[in-house]
Structure formats: C-alpha cells, structure tokens
Chains A and B, each alone.
Chain A
C-alpha cells in the first residue's frame, strides 16, 4: 500500500522520559512534516523537511528534535517529556504545491 505510516500508534510514558516516533512514506514525496493536534483538534505545524533538509521549524521547544535520514523518513525525538506534550502527532508528506497526505497519527500520553 502506498501510504504515510508512523509508529507507534499509541505511546504512554512518564514525565521526564525520552521517546521517539517514526515516520515513513513510500509516495515518493520530497517534503515531510510533523504536525501536532491538541485536545481541541487544532492542527499546528512543527517541522518540515525537504529532501532531508529542515525548511520549517516553528516555535517548538528544543526538546523536540526531528531527524531525516533520507527523504522517505522523518523521525521525531522528544526529550524530557512534559504533561503538555500530550497530543496526537501527525506525520505528513507532499509534493510541491500538492495536498498533504497524513499518517494515522501517534497518540502520546504523558503521565
């Protein structure tokens, strides 16, 4: 199946831990993104990479570090997790000037 796939689907962890979310797309897109959706369903961009290069870095704590080993992968590592990091994190990809294709999301719960 052609898709944007991210793992894990659910992540429950304690404050202070470090965790990673992985994302892969097999659509041949050049650009990949991480979006955060809060409890009120508001989607906000965090990062964007084009061909492994960071092109958008919104005001996100530096505890969040994206890594793109190649243009088909964009992983998100989060250090020292806080309660406010609880949200659904969506990976997405696109070609230039084309709609985003989203992954199914990772629901992160920090306790």
Chain B
C-alpha cells in the first residue's frame, strides 16, 4: 500500500494568501481525519469524515478553515485567508470502518505550513 499521501510536504506562504492542503487516503478506507500539530497545543483533531460525510468539525478553528471530501480518494483542507498563527504541521489520517471499529488509523507524513 502507498499509505496516506499528503501534499504539499512543505509550504511557505504570505499572510492573507489561500492555502490548500491535499490528502489521498489509503484505498478502501472510509474514515478520514485532519489534525493540526503545534508545540503549544499538541495534536488537535480538526474534522473527520465517515464515508465522505463530515461527522464532527467542532475542532475547526474558525470560518477561515474549510474541509471537503468530494470522493472516497481525495480530501482538501483550505485556509483562506491564512494567518501566521496557522503555522503548524497538518496531518491527514485514514482507516477502514467507521465508528469505534478498532481498526488501525494510519497517518500521512504531514504538511508543514509556515505563514509569514
């Protein structure tokens, strides 16, 4: 398996610009998670999808953040407009099954975002 694939791996952007992070989950997985990791706040769950449907987006910081999953093999996390405090590592993760399935959750390598 190719694993969870994220792009870009690194992005440096100017404040106010739109940022789009992309994720391809493992084929056959029907749950997808977006996390943000910072030194101060640790690993925070932003949103997760089951069968392409957003289940819980209570972790999305504010309206500047949006996530979509148009099909089972692709998801995006968009920040518009970006701010310096959005600088973090953004992880995408996926697993088979929904709910408390007990199946392993696999993480991508992360997208390192720096907003200057």
Q: Do A and B actually bind?
A: no
Q: Which residues in A have some Cβ–Cβ distance to B below 8 Å?
A: none
Q: Which residues in B have some Cβ–Cβ distance to A below 8 Å?
A: none
